[in-house]
Amino acid sequence: MEDFWNNRYKEKEFAYGTSPNVFFKNTIDKLNIEGTLLLPAEGEGRNAVYAAKKGLNVLAFDISEEGKNKAMELARSEHVEIDYRVGELNQLNLKKNSFDALALIYAHFAANEKDKLHKDLAKLIKPNGYLILEGFSVNNLELREKNPNVGGPANREMLYSKQEIKQTFIDFEIIELEETQIELKEGSFHNGLASVIRFIGKKNA
């Protein structure tokens, strides 16, 4: 997968654009989130840079060195600083209960790793901290068959469902949890009608 993402991100154009994800942006603004934010699988940095412009202290990571290069380029152009690391979660030595918020924006993981990874990420959020998630739902497969440009994994096990969210993030108060269809317009690889899961959770104290 590292080679796949490096190949996608090494092009001059930003694969998913430079504007932040709409749900992420609206949630950050609506909740007036402050402090520290963790962004796993952050790619080319569009969400990290927006959060930094809002005054958040951002730590982002991804397995792609090319993704980091693009993210740092974007941060420089927007005159903000972000802490961006390359590697897997278990290589980063992050402390439990150390982030005010964590956002998973189209962060899809291998089926055999997903549950543990999600639970390990949840442990990094402070009590009363927020988890923000938008990702493709299991029902996106049908839409993807009609329009491959909408993007997302072809493997059902890598996709999200509302039930899975409830079971995985059991220590979170559900502020918002819905499955909905949206018209994606994010760069070259997220275009068209998509079925997504949107989740905002607040970690129990």
For residue 201, the tally of other CB atoms under 10 A from its CB is: 24
pLDDT for 1 equals: 87
- The tokens for 156 are 């059902």
Residue-range definition of the domain harbouring residue 196: 2-203
pLDDT in tens, 24-79: 999 999 999 999 999 999 999 999 999 999 999 999 999 999 999 999 999 999 99
Q: What is the pTM of this model?
A: 0.97
Write the DSSP symbol of residue 18. Answer: S
- CATH of residue 62's domain is 3.40.50.150
5: pLDDT strictly greater than 90: yes
Q: Domain count for the chain, please give it.
A: 1
Which residues neighbour 143 within 8 Å (Cβ) at sequence distance 6 or greater? 150, 181, 192, 193, 194, 195
pLDDT in tens, 181-203: 999 999 999 999 999 999 999 99
105: left (phi over 0), alpha (psi -120 to 50) or beta: beta
Give CA separation, 198 vs 6, 103, 130, in Å: 27, 11, 13
Q: 57 in helix, strand or coil?
A: strand
Q: What tens digit of pLDDT does each residue of 104-161 get?
A: 999 999 999 999 999 999 999 999 999 999 999 999 999 999 999 999 999 999 999 9
Which token pair is 105? 């924006």
